[in-house]
Amino acid sequence: MFGHGQQEELLKELERLRERIRELEAEHAHGLRFDSVTELLSPRALRGRLTEECERARRYQRPLCVAVVAVDDFDALELRHGFKAGDELMAAVARRLRGSTRSHDLLGRTGSAEFALLLPDTDAEAALPALERLLVELELAGEGKIRAAAASMGIAALQRGMSAEGLLAHARQALASSRAIGGGRATIAADTDAILDPAKAPQREAIEALAVALLERDKYTGEHSEAVIQMSASVARTLGCNAVEVERVRSAALLHDIGKVAIPDEILRKPGPLNDEEWKLMRQHPVIGERILRVLPGLGAVARMVRHEHERWDGGGYPDGLSGVQIPFGSRVIIVADTYHAITSDRPYRAAKSHEHAVEELMRCAGTQFDPDVTAALIGHLYGRRQGGVASA
């Protein structure tokens, strides 16, 4: 027989075990309903809510659309930066989604780097402008090691006879179409038939047309861009970018000055230094360039690089005063290559300076104006190129 004191201890221990069981059951129920990383609805819970919303929309003959959002190149980002950084990015994307959607919209995680937005009482065409703005917001969602990442979106509207699974499948098909033409954009499922073939994607032709327009507008700017492309692509490869990322950097390097098409000739070709008013206008060209590129399918990530190619590592640049790894990687590459070529080229207001002078200037500004790692990679590329030229002479 147990003594009175022992019985009390056993009863207390039994109550503690019962309480722990209740906690575990609550955690399990929460885990079934919510994703542990993002705190959004879990895939299972989201599918249940989607079924309910489809039934409600049919019953009351109300519109319903679903948007599926996926971070582009997430596997490569996670491989480069690690699982922890990948989770941090997913949590940051979730916070942006919560902060940019309506209180009655439903959000859930549907894959490792995929989310779904259920938009009750909403037509897909009417939702498109707001969802496109949301993609721009998501480009600034990163934190930790991954400060920014492009995303693509597919949108589908509930049609007569369509199941919840069919609605989600149509949205994913539209997402695949967005990615097939370069990513960084939103596509409505009804539009996908015309763009499922990547060979028909218009962005390459559009990029080339813009490059020709830039060359016609200002011969120096066009030729300058060609030199910056080669250096930028080499640095991107050296620092571990995959083929898709290198191509985006190449496109941004080619078009980084496209906003100058809106700058008056008397400023663009002025033989002397610009005054304050002229500089104020000239400093708008990255923003103008971004606006031009944003209207082209699949160039969202390129447009962002163009906007920020005059930011500084220490935060003293323009137009947004970003600093460090907040600045898109491609922008950090382009500004260093752009500066080297500008120093070593004849300009309307001064003669070209030597390679040695340019390298010295890059080294002096590494860590203040320029990303130190990018600067070192470019100098290494230039050294190797010059050694190769000597060896082949």
User: What confidence tens digit (pLDDT) does each residue in 88-121 have?
Assistant: 888 888 988 888 888 889 999 988 889 999 999 9
Do 43-200 and 203-392 have matching folds? Answer: no
Whether the pTM exceeds 0.95: the reply is no
Rg of the chain over CA atoms, in angstroms?
A: 26
Q: Which is nearest to 215 in space by CA: 202, 229, 201? A: 229
The DSSP code sequence of 154-194 is EEEE--TT--HHHHHHHHHHHHHHHHHTTSSSEEEGGGGGG
Within the chain, strands assigned E span 64-71, 106-111, 114-120, 151-157, 186-188
Please state the domain extents for the chain: 43-200, 203-392
**Whole-angstrom distance, CA of residue 304 vs CA of residue 331:** 8
pLDDT tens sequence across 160-178 = 888 888 899 889 988 888 8
Question: Would you give per-residue pLDDT tens digits along the chain (393 residues)?
Answer: 556 666 777 777 777 766 666 655 554 444 457 888 888 998 888 888 999 999 999 988 899 999 999 988 888 777 887 888 888 888 888 988 888 888 889 999 988 889 999 999 998 888 888 888 888 878 766 555 665 677 889 999 998 888 888 899 889 988 888 887 777 888 888 644 444 444 334 466 667 677 766 666 665 555 556 778 889 999 998 888 877 788 889 889 988 888 988 888 888 778 778 889 999 999 999 999 998 888 776 788 888 999 999 999 999 999 999 999 889 999 999 999 999 998 988 766 678 899 999 999 999 999 999 999 999 999 998 887 655 443 333
Domain 203-392: CATH class, spelled out: mainly alpha
Q: Which is nearest to 312 in space by CA: 336, 340, 277, 282? A: 336
Contact 154, 172 (CB under 8 A): yes
**Whole-angstrom distance, CA of residue 382 vs CA of residue 102:** 51
User: What count of residues does the chain have?
Assistant: 393
Q: Beta strand pairing status for 64-71 and 151-157? A: antiparallel
The reply to whether CATH 3.10.20.30 applies to domain 43-200 is: no
- Bridge partner list, 119: 65
Under 8 Å CB-to-CB from 255, ≥6 apart: which residues? Answer: 207, 210, 211, 214, 225, 289, 293, 302, 306
Q: Which is nearest to 185 in space by CA: 162, 167, 202? A: 202
